[in-house]
Structure 1
Amino acid sequence: MDAKRHIVHIDLDSFFVSVERKFNPSLIGKAVIIGGSADRGVVASCSYEARKFGVHSAMPTRQALKLCPHAIVIHGTHGRYSEASREVTQIIHNMVPLYQKSSVDEFYIDLSGMERFHDPFKLACELRQKVIRETGLPISFGMASGKTVAKMATNQAKPNGQLWIQHGQEKAFLAPLNIGKIPGLGESTCQKLYQYGIEKIGDLQRVNLKFLEAVFGKMGTYIYNKAHGIDDSEIIPHSDRKSISTEHTFESDVNDKRTLENILVSMTEELAGKLRRENKVASCLAIKIRYANFETHTQQTKIALTAAEHILIPGIKNLLNKAWNRHRPIRLIGVRLSNLCPGSYQINLFEDNEERIRLYQAMDNINFRFGDKTICRAAGMEIGARTFNPFLKG
């Protein structure tokens, strides 16, 4: 590439904890865990004070409390986090021409070409200060020629710092870091590299591409590029698609509640799985009912940002109870999840237990490998879930 790229990665430090500290300043400086109960819950987020003891997100809460017995456990408040995320997004939206919101607390910004009018690093510093000033939340950023190095620079700048890796300095910056710092490099890949005596990214930089391809196949090229700071991936602007939906028309009108609920469970599962694959969450839930005479009713409700069936399914059943006149048979039924925004399943971790998180991961992995609806809840199986073809709405 001839033109120099200026990519900024922004990350809100310990986002959930920082938001809670705004509402309760007595938590500042203390070991804080946002998560479920000590019995079967998991850690959604934790403060740097807790991380010093080895606590990290997705760890069982009981294990976290063994490592850090004095930690304060808070259940968490969905609304506060989504509102804080919206505030930060708005500030970024007003200040830069092109950005990508990759999760509830993480953004990529493309300032390439801006150097003709502004100093990109100075602009990024001003943006960071504006977020801190207007939201009171600590925020870190890294700036580099590509997304990967920018993200790794942010991780080195934390907590509450900033770091610019100038063009041509990428390999020198990466060299002393452990290979585990490379985003997307799993534990098993790292262990394999350790066996070859490759521990630092600098060691990786000295390895021949052919060797990496022989050991890791296509993944070898990925590893090689990351180690050399090569990343031409573009900033993908915020998606315009705001909803995802599916509906089912019955061959003969249905008046049986169990049949209707089973259909809804299956459709909701399918949509939720799609959201998780696309790394999206929804904050509005709707049901559509059409009676035999084609009279159509919809009912919707706001929900906390989620892509989890165990939250969505009870909400959908509740909407069915509100919308359906029991004396009238139904011709068509539909489900819509809307107000979509980027965000991973992490935002729900503090409501969940270990078994549930493992279940979702296992279901998604199997369905990803063998096709949608290979595995689903028993309720969804009763009505032949494979007959549905969800359609996406723009």
Structure 2
Amino acid sequence: MERAIVHMDLDTFFVSCERLGNAQLEGIPLIIGGGDRGVVASCSYEARRFGVRSAMPIRMALAMCPQARVIKGDMELYSKMSSLVTEVIEERSPLTEKASIDEFYLDITGIDRFHGAYKWTAELAEAVTRETGLPISFALSVNKTVSKIGTGESKPTGRLEIPTDNVRPFLNPLSIKKIPMVGDATFALLSRIGIRTIQTLSEMPAPVLQQMVGKNGIEIWKKANGIDTSPVEPYTERKSISTEHTFGQDTIDIPMLRALLSGMVEKLAYQLRSEQWLASTVTVKIRYSNFDTETKQCRIPYTSCDHALARHVKELFEKLYQRRMRLRLVGLRFSGLVRGTYQINLFEDTEEMLSLYQAMDRIKNRFGPDAVARCAGAQLKTRP
């Protein structure tokens, strides 16, 4: 049976959320981001017409579009609205994968026995907008790659169906930058040898492409040829990541405990970013020398950045550790995970902070997770 895979993407999600509560924001260039030294987390289509793009420095965006209005952003609101959309989709869809805070994959294979697959998807999109007020685009095709590219081409508020016999004609004229996994560096490399369209890339021998761009070469070649067998997986597949540390000797060394927690945050946050997860719940656990175990948790806006997570971990630990008895164990868990990338934290960050995280992650990817660390998390010698 031929697969029927839908990709749904909320249009300019952060902007749409802000406009729900403020009609004066309709139709004007709008930038969601933080401060003069921050970067653009999202922007309206009116701002995009001036060249403004996500991850661009705010100063550059305002130079391009000085009349734009800048709003810091409200992650609590965005998380709440994302949950509402998720509920609407999951109530109706047989199999849903939440790919990020604002995009979803649906496997509706076989649904055309009862309804037309396209008609069913269009009705779902209408239900999302009716029940949440948010505009949403979708594309229906035979796999996740083609559907995702299709959604990008159908925006804003687009609806697109790409059947099997139209996959190659649809993909061929598009830029290779439309392919997931093709970043700026790969695009520049391939452009230098004249490969700029998906058709040209698809006709390239796969082993040659792999030799040029590395281990992802075969996957990129498959995507260029419209081949993608990856399944739609429920986003709750992995619920949490965690770590614990049991001391060889019970301790009451507060500075060391804080340093240890800082290091634990850094390692788990790197794991979140490496696996493209965002966490919405933080839990701190302690075990006293008499084996009493206590935990405390809090809900947070979706994030994978060290400094945001560390702030909540520190606050929880200070509230939790009140008995001033020696500890034998501390633990940390990040849960409420959804698929997503670091970019949704941008309205808290400066350009320097974003560059620092990217540089640290590159070092860790190349030399291992312990290759670089904050000084605060490296002071781990225990004093009795």
Give the structure-2-normalised TM-score: 0.94
**Which residue pairs with 1:69 in the alignment?**
66
Q: 1:279 to 1:384 in 2, by over 3 A?
A: farther
Residue of structure 2 aligned with 1:300, choices 297, 301, 304: 297
Judged with a 3 Å threshold, the aligned counterparts in structure 2 of structure 1 residues 329 and 384 are, in CA distance, closer, same or farther, namely closer
Cα 1:323–1:143 shift into 2, 3 Å: same
Amino acid at match of 2:231: E
1:291 matched to which residue of 2?
Answer: 288
CA separation of 1:206 and 1:333: change in aligned 2, threshold 3 A: closer
Structure 1 residues 361-370 or 6-15, which shifts more? Answer: 361-370
Moved over 3 A (4+): 205-220
Query: Which residue number corresponds to residue 9 of structure 1?
Result: 7
Number of the residue aligned with 2:32? 34
Q: 1:211, 1:243 → 2: CA distance?
A: 39
Which residue does the alignment assign to 2:101? 104
1:135 lines up with 2:116 in the alignment: no
> Deviations along 1:104-140, whole A, 9 cap, x unmatched?
0011111112222221111111111111111111110
Give the whole-Å Cα distance in 2 for the aligned partners of 1:245 and 1:183: 29
Letter in 1 for 2:160: L
What pairs with 1:72-221 in structure 2 (closer than 5 Å)?
72-209=69-206, 211-216=208-213, 218-221=215-218
Q: Contact 1:46–1:56 (CA<8 Å) still a contact in 2?
A: yes
Whether the 8 Å contact between 1:255 and 1:326 is mirrored in structure 2 is: no
Partner of 2:240: 243
1:101 to 1:384, Cα distance in 2 relative to 1, 3 A: farther
Match of 1:275 in 2: 272
Q: CA-to-partner distance for each residue in 1:274-331, whole Å, 9 max, x for gaps? A: 1222222222222222222222222222222212111121222222222223642222
CA distance 1:159–1:333, shift in 2 (3 Å): same
- Structure 1 unmatched ranges of 5 or more: 386-394
Aligned counterpart for 2:372 among listed residues 371, 375, 389: 375
Preserved contact between residue 34 and residue 73 of structure 1 (Cα < 8 Å): yes
Report the identity percentage.
49
Distance 1:218 1:364, change over 3 A: closer
Tell me: CA distance 1:251–1:53, structure 2 relative to 1, closer, same or farther (3 Å).
Answer: same
| 2:223 corresponds to 1:229 | no
Q: Secondary structure at the match of 1:185?
A: coil
Determine the C-alpha separation between the residues in 1 that align with 2:12 and 2:230: 26
Residue 253 of structure 1 aligns with which residue? 250
Say yes or no: does 1:21 pair with 2:41. no
Question: Structure 1's 10 and 261: CA in aligned 2 closer, same or farther, altered over 3 A?
Answer: same
The number of residue pairs the alignment matches comes to 382
Q: Which amino acid in structure 2 is aligned with residue 7 of structure 1? A: I
Give, in angstroms, the shift of residue 194 of structure 1. 2.1
Paired residue secondary structure (2:50)? coil
Residue 41 of structure 2 aligns with which residue? 44
Partner SS, residue 56 of structure 1: coil
Structure 2 residue runs of 5 or longer lacking an equivalent are none
SS in 1 for 2:38: coil
Q: Is 1:330 equivalent to 2:327 in the alignment?
A: yes
Structure 1 CA distance for aligned equivalents of residues 102 and 309 of structure 2: 23
Q: Is structure 2 residue 56 aligned with structure 1 residue 59?
A: yes
- Report the alpha carbon displacement of residue 211 of structure 1 after superposing the two structures with TM: 4.4
Cα RMSD (Å) of the superposition?
A: 1.8
